[in-house]
Structure formats: C-alpha cells, structure tokens
Amino acid sequence: MDVRLASLYSGGKDSTYSVYLAERMGHRVTHLLTVIPSGEDSLFFHYPNAWITALQAEAMGKEHLAIESPTGREAELEALGRLLDTVAGKVEGVVVGALASRFQYEAFNRLCRERGLDVLAPLWGKNPLKLLREVVAEGFEVIITGVAAAGLGEEMLGRRITPELIRLIEDVSRRMGVHPGGEGGEFETLVLDSPMFRKRIEVLSSEKVWRGDRGVLYIRRARLRER
C-alpha cells in the first residue's frame, strides 16, 4: 500500500531504521521532521549533533524541515506541532521511532491525531537487542555519540555499533540495568551510512566532552562523500 508519510527524525538509529522499514512496507517517506532543542535536558528529542540531520536528509534525497525549540515538555511539543502543521495535507501519516517509551509515544500520537495524521511506529515493542543486530545486519553504519549510564564509559564515544559492541551492551544491560536500546537516554547514536543513503557522512572533526559519569561526542565538521 503506497502511503505518503513524514517521519520524526533525529538522525539516530531508531528514527533512521524506522524510515527504512516504512519504505520496505511500500510507503513513501517524503519529509523528515527535526526538532532541535536548545539544550541537553530535552524530554523528547536528541540534542547532540542534530544539525547533521540536514546532511542525512540530503543523502536520502528527502525534504528536511527543522525547527529550534527551548527545552521543556510544552515548548518541545508546541514546536513539533508547528512542524506537523507544515506537512498536514501533504502526507497521510507520520513515522515515529518510539521503541518502548509510552510517554513519548502517546504525546506524539495525540499531536498527530489532532491534525488527522495516522501514526506508524514500526519499532514499537521490538526486542532492543534483536533490533540492534538487525540494524547492523542491514548495513547501517552507526556510532555512539552520547552515554549517560553506569557501565558505559568515555571509551564508548565514537565507537561503531558492531556485533562485538552489541555483546558489550548486552552484558552492561544485564549487570547494570541499562536499557539495551538506549531508550531512556542511556546512549545516543548517529547514522553515518545506510542502504537508503546515496552518499555517506564523513566526520571531519569531533570533540569528546566528558562530565563525571556522562559524555557527548560533538561532531564539529562533517560532509557527504561518495562511497
């Protein structure tokens, strides 16, 4: 069934893989919607490296719509509502990358329903470790850009998600209770390449910032390049 969709897009593994799965179902994802929060304490959206979503959209040949927002529940949802208003009437529904966060999923559903938009959540309820393995097996190149959980140290920043790293995440999850999909903000990711990309993202410069028990890999410069 060919349905035109927009997608909430952070540039991480979940939102990118959700677009991939939606298109494998036969839908057309024409727009990527990104809310760029003003700080790290965002309730709903990825903060580090959100600017790279413009490069990712270009790599996929999709229209990219972004809006900056102060942090906080009401401000972030109001910003997302304005983005949804721009595509209402152009698409029939919205893809979301929610995996297990009912708080996030229900908030996004309400905003979409108010605008007559259906919601497609292809990852909802999936086993997070199985999902990580799928992402790697399908040829996605994904790196860790943020960690905020016991058992995940500075050495994780910038590491590519591989079968070996997934085994490490599984072990930390078992010992420390970390969500293996990073759903609670335990870790954040960035997709540098995927089967949907016409070009891959090359990181030209980056900086690790570590504060006590958490840290972020900030991508300072990046570009698209041929594979």
Q: What is the pLDDT of residues 131-172, one digit of tens each?
A: 999 999 999 999 999 999 888 999 999 999 999 999 999 999
Domain, as residue range, for 196? 130-225
In this structure, are 173 and 91 located in the same domain? Answer: no
In this structure, are 110 and 140 located in the same domain? Answer: no
Q: What is the pLDDT of residue 47?
A: 67
In this structure, are 74 and 107 located in the same domain? Answer: yes
Q: What is the pLDDT of residue 184?
A: 73
In a domain, residue 125? The reply is no
User: How many domains, the chain?
Assistant: 2
Average pLDDT, the chain: 93
The per-residue pLDDT for range 30-73, each reduced to its tens digit, is 999 999 888 776 667 766 799 999 999 999 999 999 998 888 88
Q: What is the pLDDT of residue 126?
A: 94
In this structure, are 106 and 29 located in the same domain? Answer: yes
Q: What is the pLDDT of residue 1?
A: 60
Q: What percent of the chain has pLDDT over 90?
A: 77
11, with CB counted inside 10 A (0-12, 13-18, 19+), is buried
Domain end call among 78, 97, 120: 120
| CATH classification at residue 111 | 3.40.50.620
Domain end call among 62, 90, 120: 120
In a domain, residue 65? The reply is yes
In a domain, residue 101? The reply is yes
In this structure, are 37 and 86 located in the same domain? Answer: yes
In this structure, are 168 and 218 located in the same domain? Answer: yes
pLDDT(180) > 80: yes
182: confidence class by pLDDT, cuts 50, 70, 90: confident
- Average of per-residue pLDDT across 196-218: 96
In this structure, are 80 and 159 located in the same domain? Answer: no
- Average of per-residue pLDDT across 75-88: 94
In a domain, residue 109? The reply is yes
- Average of per-residue pLDDT across 193-210: 98
In a domain, residue 36? The reply is yes
Domain end call among 72, 102, 120: 120
7: confidence class by pLDDT, cuts 50, 70, 90: very high
In this structure, are 169 and 94 located in the same domain? Answer: no
- For residue 65, how far is the Cα from the chain centroid? 15
**Buried-state track 102-119, b at ≥16 Cβ within 10 A, e below 16:** eebbebbbebbeeeebeb
In a domain, residue 14? The reply is yes
In this structure, are 62 and 42 located in the same domain? Answer: yes
pLDDT(17) > 70: yes
The per-residue pLDDT for range 83-120, each reduced to its tens digit, is 999 999 999 999 999 887 788 889 999 999 999 999 99
**Buried-state track 81-90, b at ≥16 Cβ within 10 A, e below 16:** bebbeebbee
In this structure, are 42 and 116 located in the same domain? Answer: yes
